[in-house]
Amino acid sequence: MSNTDELRYTTANDGDTMLCGVMDAGGFLPEGVPAHWSVYFAVADTDATTAKLTELGGSVEQPAEDTPYGRIASATDPIWAPVSS
């Protein structure tokens, strides 16, 4: 999707369905942050899902927002495992 010094991002697709994406975040992650994976789950309602996650003990790290890829939020579950929807 992009191969510039500012953003290197590629996706794997099955037809029109995007299955995964890989991004080189080394240009904007703070120093000392190691390479890592983020997992995204498709949900019917991001706002309702983050509300339920909070109700069950999780924490919203980045509130839901609209993006070109859909509405997303970042959260952690009750044992601090990262969750994105």
Q: Is pLDDT at 43 greater than 80 in this prediction?
A: yes
pLDDT of residue 8: 80
pLDDT band, residue 71 (cuts 50/70/90): very high
pLDDT of residue 15: 93
Long-range CB contacts for residues 43-48, cutoff 8 Å, separation at least 24: 43/85, 46/70, 46/71, 46/72, 46/73, 46/85, 47/71, 47/73
CA atoms within 13 Å, Cβ hemisphere of 30: 0
**What pTM, to 2 d.p., does this model score?**
0.65
- We find that the CATH architecture of domain 39-85 is Roll (3.10)
The structural domains of the chain, with segments of one domain joined by +, span: 1-37, 39-85
Q: Is pLDDT at 45 greater than 90 in this prediction?
A: yes
pLDDT of residue 85: 52
Mean pLDDT of 15-20: 86
